[in-house]
């Protein structure tokens, strides 16, 4: 029988996440952990962002999926360095997986490391990967009640991207209600509305990321992760 000590694992994860962050800081690489439901449009958002960021930030991506390499194939097609992690059943990425995957990259050739987490609005909330910024994506087709039902992930994010806004006319999603929910859960968080396929709002989000990335390396006394968003 396998004995799993839950608290010990989380403590080990946090420690390794700090080590990941220290390595990123030392190299001046800004890391973003992108979380959200399956199919909320994380990969399509990255495709749009990388187009806008060309010549401004040199990105690389770690793709997390239970199985398959659909997303990594899409990022690879853009000429962006990418590593696919197959979690084989695990419902979130953890700091150990990131440490292993990041070894594939030449940090000297990068400014931005984007980690696309497993599609999961619950379990990804609890695991610090060593990122500087956590960005939660919520598509309008999911409904604006998700902030009430899954508060932790919004509470622990530094920015909310309301995605697929081109579908707004065909849904009952209310931007105001979602934004109010986010302000309640994470008062300091930035809120963006993006239609990645049509390009709406992509420039605003890209500009904001460039600005955020300038702050790396941050002071180790106040790691961004420990800040309330």
Kindly list the residues in this chain that would bind a second copy in the complex (CB under 8 A).
1-8, 37-40, 65-68, 70-71, 89, 91, 118-123, 139, 141-143, 145-146, 148-152, 164, 166-167, 170
Nearer to a second copy, 133 or 153 (CB): 153
* Nearest distance from C-beta of residue 214 to a second copy, angstroms: 33
Q: Which long-range contacts (CB under 8 A, 24 or more apart) does 146-152 make?
A: 146/37, 146/121, 147/178, 147/181, 147/182, 147/184, 147/185, 148/181, 150/121, 150/122, 151/185, 152/122, 152/125, 152/126
Q: What are phi and psi of 192, to 5 degrees?
A: -125, 145
Count CB atoms within 10 A of the CB of residue 215: 12
Instruction: Closer to a second copy by CB, 51 or 68: give it.
Output: 68
Contact at 8 Å (CB) between 26 and 221? no
Q: How far is the CB of 137 from a second copy (least distance, A)?
A: 12
Q: How far is the CB of 170 from a second copy (least distance, A)?
A: 6
Is 15 or 215 the residue whose CB approaches a second copy more closely? 15
Q: How far is the CB of 92 from a second copy (least distance, A)?
A: 8
């Amino acid at each position: 029988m396998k004995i799993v000590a839950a608290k010990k694992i989380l403590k080990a994860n946090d420690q390794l996440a700090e080590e990941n962050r220290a390595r990123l800081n030392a190299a001046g690489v800004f890391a973003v952990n992108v979380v959200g439901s399956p199919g909320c449009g994380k990969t399509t958002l990255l495709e749009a962002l990388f187009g806008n960021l060309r010549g401004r930030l040199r990105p690389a991506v770690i793709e997390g999926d239970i199985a398959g390499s659909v997303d990594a194939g899409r990022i690879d097609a853009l000429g962006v360095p990418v590593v696919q992690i197959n979690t084989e059943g695990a419902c979130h990425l953890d700091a150990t997986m990131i440490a292993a995957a990041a070894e594939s990259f030449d940090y000297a050739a990068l400014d931005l490391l984007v980690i696309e987490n497993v599609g999961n609005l619950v379990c990804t909330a609890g695991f610090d990967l060593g990122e500087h910024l956590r960005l939660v994506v919520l598509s309008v087709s999911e409904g604006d009640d998700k902030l009430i039902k899954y508060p932790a992930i919004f509470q622990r994010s530094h920015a909310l991207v309301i995605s697929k806004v081109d579908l707004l006319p065909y849904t009952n999603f209310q931007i105001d209600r979602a934004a109010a929910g986010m302000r309640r859960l994470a008062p300091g968080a930035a809120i963006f509305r993006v239609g990645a396929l049509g390009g709406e709002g992509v420039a605003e989000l890209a500009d904001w990321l460039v600005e955020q990335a300038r702050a790396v390396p941050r002071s180790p006394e106040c790691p961004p992760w420990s800040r309330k968003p």
